[in-house]
Amino acid sequence: MSNPRTSHFSVPPTEALRVDAGFDLSTLDPGATPGWDHGRKAAEKSMARRGRDLSDLQERLFAHGRTGGERSVLLVLQGMDTAGKGGIVRHVIGMVDPQGVDHAAFAAPTAEELAHDFLWRIRRRTPRPGMLGVFDRSHYEDVLIARVDDLVPRATWEARYDQINEFEAELAASGTTIVKVAMFVSLDEQKERLRKRLERPDKHWKYDPSDLAGRAQWPAYQEAYQAVLDRTSTPAAPWYVVPADHKWYSRLVVTELVLDAFRSLDLDWPTASYDVAEQLALLERS
Amino acid sequence: MSNPRTSHFSVPPTEALRVDAGFDLSTLDPGATPGWDHGRKAAEKSMARRGRDLSDLQERLFAHGRTGGERSVLLVLQGMDTAGKGGIVRHVIGMVDPQGVDHAAFAAPTAEELAHDFLWRIRRRTPRPGMLGVFDRSHYEDVLIARVDDLVPRATWEARYDQINEFEAELAASGTTIVKVAMFVSLDEQKERLRKRLERPDKHWKYDPSDLAGRAQWPAYQEAYQAVLDRTSTPAAPWYVVPADHKWYSRLVVTELVLDAFRSLDLDWPTASYDVAEQLALLERS
């Protein structure tokens, strides 16, 4: 059994990391570990335990999806290059059954995608009932890189914040619990992680010379992220900001945030739609 | 380190389970463990080790997909109810990074799917370059249940074997390594597994009264599977028959079969398309 002194948050991530009115991104310390005072080793143990709970609840959601339920969960991951989005997918989402996961990575839009409204490709990938959807990048790129790099006129991206809120409210009303996670690394930690990609031949494929452009535009991205957090953290789809210089911390808290979303569904196993005793008797004779 | 005496197959699954001309399904013992003489515990250890190799090679494939490579791997899973297809996804595919997995479960076709050629929905889900695709059921249902239940005229399903072979040859020629796995449980073991689903409330959702129909049609399904194995085990896309009464065995050998497909790609890490030293210098100044 676990040691309760090292398995608990002093403040739950849903409170410690939630973005409320007046949140100031410039005060965030990417090296901090809000709500967790037990260090790395205890975090890794705690995460494995939470992973088993998550896996159990995810199967219940999947079972409900198979038996007419309408609920789903969507994890939206945002963050600058090297913030650790991929690591979340591998290490957090990797703890649950792949059958119940619908993972979508949104790269630069294709010509076909650009010919549609920016939410077109996003709507196509929202999770079906019973599924845990994961967006690695998302519609938020359309108010982040699109804003920073002037890919569309100001009036276009300005209008998107409200469009996003309406879309997410609609999604939530139709049964999807949305967990939005923005991961922040420091400029120094990012340099370290990019250096590692350049120094190791097995990591070269993860590096792109355009990654340096993001560093040069750091203040513009901070401003664009601040606007996202100010304007799109809603009761139906709140943002959580995750300090991400410590990978063990960001993985632990994202596990907990997703687990909390599943707990909030309060799902029991679905009841049988057939007569169990009758089927048992038929089975014995078969 | 592993004990070499208990980590090796006496005959590799690619040989022991491969369907060649003249294969007779009626001689298959679902309780056997061909090629593995070390029992369950050693199998589980060996599988975990193979899982790490698989995870490593899968990342290489993914890296190639990101850098212009054209290869992919497709695992096709077939088997009667309770044969353990879901367990393969959870326990074998669950060992690799979800980012690199494209999982598709094919249930009874929708009205839209039925309005198209039977391969329409299948082609839409073939894996992109760099991905490990997994089909939980597949186009083979169109010559299994479709044949057994007379869902289409005989001439229609008769023509499908060649259509399937052409489709798979085309897929293989475009860079997809195809691994087809047919899992077989005994009638007794299936009864045991269905009983468990009926006895445990957390498994009720996995049971469907129509599962009993499959038991009543067992000989017809055996015949339909025999035709599949006779007519669609090709050099480009061979079938492997997996005795599945022992879950630890079927999971071990499917891991090995998929791992072998990855090994056959013989992938190294992609080389950088940029000047590494130059980027390192630019990074330091950023």
pLDDT tens-digit readout, B93-150: 999 999 999 999 999 999 999 999 999 999 999 999 999 999 999 999 999 999 999 9
Give the pLDDT of residue B7.
Answer: 67
Residue A87: its chain B contacts at CB < 8 A? none
pLDDT grade for A2, boundaries at 50, 70 and 90: very low
User: Is B280–A204 a contact, with Cβ atoms under 8 angstroms apart?
Assistant: no
Say yes or no: A89 contacts chain B, CB-CB below 8 A.
yes
Say yes or no: B202 contacts chain A, CB-CB below 8 A.
yes
Residue A207: its chain B contacts at CB < 8 A? 272, 274, 279
**B211 min Cα distance to partner chain A (Å):** 9
Identify the residue among A193, A279, A284 best suited for mutation to test binding to B, counting B beta carbons within 10 A and taking the highest.
A279
Say yes or no: B68 contacts chain A, CB-CB below 8 A.
no
Say yes or no: B124 contacts chain A, CB-CB below 8 A.
no
pLDDT tens-digit readout, B178-199: 999 999 999 999 999 999 999 9
Give the pLDDT of residue B5.
Answer: 53
Cα distance between residue A127 and residue B260, in whole Å: 33
Say yes or no: A99 contacts chain B, CB-CB below 8 A.
yes
Q: Is the pLDDT of residue A1 over 50?
A: no
Q: Is the pLDDT of residue B3 over 60?
A: no
Q: What is the identity of the amino acid at A134?
A: V
User: Is B274–A86 a contact, with Cβ atoms under 8 angstroms apart?
Assistant: no
Say yes or no: B153 contacts chain A, CB-CB below 8 A.
no
Full 3-state SS string of B130-189: CCEEEEECCHHHHHCHHHHCCCCCHHHHHHHHHHHHHHHHHHHHCCEEEEEEEEECCHHH
User: Is A271–B194 a contact, with Cβ atoms under 8 angstroms apart?
Assistant: no
Give the pLDDT of residue A5.
Answer: 53
3-state secondary structure of A180: strand
Residue A97 DSSP label: -
* Interface ipTM: 0.93
Q: What are the backbone angles phi and psi of residue A34, rounded to the nearest 5°?
A: -55, 130
Lowest mean pLDDT among A195-199, A211-215, B90-94: A211-215
B98, B191, B204: residue with CB nearest A276: B204
Say yes or no: A21 contacts chain B, CB-CB below 8 A.
no
**Average pLDDT score over residue span A150-157:** 97
Give the pLDDT of residue A6.
Answer: 57
3-state secondary structure of A88: helix
Residue A182 contacts residue A226 (beta carbons within 8 Å): no
Chain mean pLDDT for chain B: 96
Cα distance between residue B74 and residue A101, in whole Å: 18
Residue B100 contacts residue B73 (beta carbons within 8 Å): no
Say yes or no: A3 contacts chain B, CB-CB below 8 A.
no
Full 3-state SS string of A193-238: HHHHHHHCHHHHHHCCCCHHHHHHCHHHHHHHHHHHHHHHCCCCCC
Q: Is the pLDDT of residue A43 over 60?
A: yes
Asked if the A4-285 domain carries CATH number 3.40.50.1980, the reply is no
Residue B101: its chain A contacts at CB < 8 A? 98, 103
Q: Report CA torsion sign: A136, A138, A142, A144.
A: negative
**B24 min Cα distance to partner chain A (Å):** 25
Other CB atoms within 10 A of residue B221 CB: 17
Element (H, E) at B254: helix B247-265
A205, A270, A271: residue with CB nearest B66: A205
Say yes or no: B268 contacts chain A, CB-CB below 8 A.
no
Residue A202: its chain B contacts at CB < 8 A? 269
Cα distance between residue A91 and residue B76, in whole Å: 26
Q: What are the backbone angles phi and psi of residue B102, rounded to the nearest 5°?
A: -120, 105
A212, A276, A280: residue with CB nearest B282: A212
**B125 min Cα distance to partner chain A (Å):** 13
**A46 min Cα distance to partner chain B (Å):** 20
Say yes or no: A55 contacts chain B, CB-CB below 8 A.
no
B98, B198, B286: residue with CB nearest A216: B286
Say yes or no: A215 contacts chain B, CB-CB below 8 A.
yes
Q: Is the pLDDT of residue A35 over 50?
A: yes
Q: Is the pLDDT of residue B4 over 70?
A: no
**Average pLDDT score over residue span B40-56:** 96
User: Is A67–B205 a contact, with Cβ atoms under 8 angstroms apart?
Assistant: yes
Residue A263 contacts residue B192 (beta carbons within 8 Å): no
pLDDT grade for B2, boundaries at 50, 70 and 90: very low
Element (H, E) at A178: strand A176-184
Closest CA to A231 of A17, A75, A79, A21: A21
Give the pLDDT of residue B1.
Answer: 42
Residue A26 DSSP label: G
Give the pLDDT of residue A142.
Answer: 98
Domain ranges of chain B: 4-285
Closest CA to B16 of B283, B278, B243, B272: B243
Residue B194: its chain A contacts at CB < 8 A? 283
pLDDT tens-digit readout, B192-247: 999 999 999 999 999 999 999 999 999 999 999 999 999 999 999 999 999 999 99
Say yes or no: B218 contacts chain A, CB-CB below 8 A.
no
For β-strands B132-136 and A132-136, DSSP reports them as unpaired
Q: Is the pLDDT of residue A162 over 80?
A: yes
**A254 min Cα distance to partner chain B (Å):** 16
Cα distance between residue B89 and residue A188, in whole Å: 39
